[in-house]
């Protein structure tokens, strides 16, 4: 069965996200997705006279390999994958999953070994290619979102084929403002938080790394976070569902953490010293993502949301924090979710999920929905 929406998505990924040019090589990694979508990507690349290569992945097969993976086997695999990646100008990964917990019974030491051995391949891909990564809609994702399969597919394609070019002017204005800002204050139900982002870059996420997209992120100065914050969007981390996470900070460190799974929450935050410090602060504004669905690629872009991230900081917006944890925790500030305010240097920037200044109001859901 062919679906015109697949062609539209393939066109967006190849022409906009990775901006493939004539004679450039692109590796398409297809994880449990229909062959027709892979073919749509091949054809979109060929239309631009690019040179597509394909790796088809199946999670159940990957599980069988991972269960007994040996050091020698992974060394060979990593060297082969790295040699191929070095020949690629671009990379597209479309990741479906028939069962999001397929790898849950792979021993943690095997997963750790796999991640360690494949890290050079990932570093090559992230630092040296034009890349984009996205999910593929599946019944298991629809189930997490509390939607029928058909309704979820409609939602997915509407969100993923948003014209991200229309977000660019507002995102550039928000980046400039964040880079001029020292003090950030966030207020709302169960939230009274203060920190500095002085001297740390702000990064635009506008459809060229992840789809869906729609956020600008920076990072708090490591020891500057003070106060408390409550996250009203549910979260999944390491296969565990967390609700109503509340964090309390002193001198940048999480000194108290509670949720429906307080013990498990604190165990993750005790993974290493960096896990109790924040490595990212971001403002989300995708006009078509409104409700949390326990999938962070979607939830962190929710219109009228912000997120804070205990753990590892990104190199592009770095406060020096290092951790094996990077856990995006989301709070929605639209009125129906309890509202809230964000202040930059004492000036109210966003109230109840709506930007107030003329330069930023184009990022508001009302403005974008009309033009998207």
DSSP letter assigned to residue 16: I
- pLDDT of residue 110 exceeding 90, the answer is no
User: Quick one: pLDDT at residue 37?
Assistant: 96
Phi/psi of residue 328, each to 5°?
Answer: -75, 120
Nearest alpha carbon to residue 252 among 282, 275, 232, 283: 275
| Mean of pLDDT values over 164-173 | 91
| Mean of pLDDT values over 202-210 | 89
Can you tell me which residue has the tokens 């203060």? Answer: 194
User: Quick one: pLDDT at residue 367?
Assistant: 54
Give pLDDT tens digits for 56-67.
999 999 999 999
| Mean of pLDDT values over 284-291 | 92
Under the phi-then-psi rule, with left for phi > 0, alpha for psi from -120 to 50, and beta for the rest, what region is 327?
beta
293-331 residues labelled b (16+ CB within 10 A) or e (exposed): bbebbbbbbbbbbbbbbbbbbbeebebebebebbbbbbb
Number of residues that make up the chain: 372
- pLDDT band per the 50, 70, 90 thresholds, residue 196: very high
- pLDDT band per the 50, 70, 90 thresholds, residue 217: very high
Sign of CA dihedral 140, 206, 332, 275: positive
User: Quick one: pLDDT at residue 352?
Assistant: 97
Q: Judge whether 188 and 338 are in contact, CB under 8 Å.
A: yes
Give pLDDT tens digits for 12-54.
999 999 999 999 999 999 999 999 999 999 999 999 999 999 9
More confident residue, 309 or 1: 309
Quick one: tokens of 185?
């204050």
- pLDDT band per the 50, 70, 90 thresholds, residue 369: very low
Query: How far apart (Å, rounded) are the C-alpha atoms in residues 83 and 117?
Result: 14
DSSP letter assigned to residue 196: E
Q: Where are the beta strands (DSSP E) in the chain?
A: 25-31, 51-57, 90-95, 130-135, 183-188, 191-196, 203-205, 210-211, 215-218, 226-231, 235-237, 240-242, 245-250, 253-258, 278-284, 305-310, 329-332, 341-344, 347-351, 354-355
Task: Choose the weakest-confidence range: 149-153, 195-199, 312-316, 363-367.
Answer: 363-367
User: Quick one: pLDDT at residue 209?
Assistant: 82
Q: Judge whether 356 and 344 are in contact, CB under 8 Å.
A: no
| Mean of pLDDT values over 273-287 | 96
More confident residue, 246 or 295: 246
Three-state SS letters, 332-344: ECCHHHCCCEEEE
Query: How far apart (Å, rounded) are the C-alpha atoms in residues 247 and 186?
Result: 13
Query: How far apart (Å, rounded) are the C-alpha atoms in residues 94 and 156?
Result: 13
Percent of the chain with pLDDT over 90: 76
Task: Decide: helix, strand or coil at residue 255.
Answer: strand
Quick one: tokens of 176?
């400039």
Can you tell me which residue has the tokens 């009302």? Answer: 366
Query: How far apart (Å, rounded) are the C-alpha atoms in residues 178 and 98?
Result: 40
* C-alpha distances out from residue 125 to 55, 133, 270, 297, 344, Å: 14, 11, 30, 19, 35
| Mean of pLDDT values over 229-235 | 95
Q: Which helix or strand (DSSP H or E) is residue 368 part of?
A: helix 365-371
Phi/psi of residue 150, each to 5°?
Answer: -65, -45
Task: Choose the weakest-confidence range: 91-95, 249-253, 350-354, 367-371.
Answer: 367-371
Dihedral angle over CA of 173, 214, 205, 58, nearest 10:
180
| Mean of pLDDT values over 223-240 | 92
Give pLDDT tens digits for 114-168.
888 998 998 899 889 999 999 999 998 888 888 999 999 999 999 888 888 888 8
Give pLDDT tens digits for 293-333.
888 889 999 999 999 999 999 989 999 999 888 999 999 99
- pLDDT of residue 370 exceeding 60, the answer is no
**What residue ranges define each of the domains in the chain, with the CATH number in brackets?**
4-160 (3.40.1830.10), 164-371 (no CATH)
- Residue 61's Cβ-count burial label (10 Å; 0-12, 13-18, 19+) is exposed
């Amino acid at each position: 069965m062919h679906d015109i929406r697949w062609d539209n998505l393939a066109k967006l990924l190849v022409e906009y996200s990775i901006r493939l040019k004539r004679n450039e090589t692109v590796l398409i990694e297809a994880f449990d997705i229909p062959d027709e979508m892979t073919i749509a990507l091949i054809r979109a690349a060929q239309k631009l006279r690019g040179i597509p290569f394909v790796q088809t992945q199946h999670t159940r097969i990957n599980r069988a390999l991972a269960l007994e993976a040996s050091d020698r086997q992974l060394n060979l695999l990593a060297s082969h994958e790295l040699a191929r990646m070095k020949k690629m100008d671009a990379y597209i990964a479309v990741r479906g999953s028939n069962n999001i917990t397929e790898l849950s019974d792979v021993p943690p030491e095997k997963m750790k070994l796999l991640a360690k051995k494949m890290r050079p391949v990932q570093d090559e891909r992230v630092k040296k290619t034009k890349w984009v990564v996205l999910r593929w809609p599946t019944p298991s994702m629809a189930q997490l979102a509390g939607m029928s399969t058909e309704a979820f597919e409609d939602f997915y394609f509407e969100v993923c084929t948003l014209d991200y070019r229309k977000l660019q002017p507002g995102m550039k204005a928000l980046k400039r403002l964040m880079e001029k800002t020292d003090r950030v204050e966030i207020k709302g139900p169960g939230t009274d938080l203060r920190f500095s982002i002085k001297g740390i870059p702000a990064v635009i996420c506008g459809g060229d790394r992840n789809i869906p997209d729609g956020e600008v992120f920076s990072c708090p100065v490591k020891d500057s976070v003070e106060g408390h914050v409550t996250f009203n969007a549910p979260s999944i981390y390491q296969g565990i569902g967390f609700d109503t996470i509340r964090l309390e900070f002193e001198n940048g460190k999480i000194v108290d953490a509670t949720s429906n799974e307080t013990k498990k929450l604190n165990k993750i935050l005790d993974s290493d010293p960096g896990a109790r410090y924040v490595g990212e602060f971001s403002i989300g504004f995708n006009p078509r993502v409104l409700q949390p669905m326990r999938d962070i690629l979607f939830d962190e872009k929710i219109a009228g949301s912000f997120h804070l991230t205990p753990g590892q900081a990104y190199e592009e917006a770095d406060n020096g924090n290092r951790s094996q944890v990077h856990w995006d925790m989301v709070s929605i500030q639209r009125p129906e979710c309890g509202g809230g305010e964000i202040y930059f240097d004492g000036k109210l920037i966003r109230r109840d999920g709506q930007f107030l200044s003329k330069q930023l109001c184009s990022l508001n859901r009302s403005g974008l929905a009309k033009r998207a």
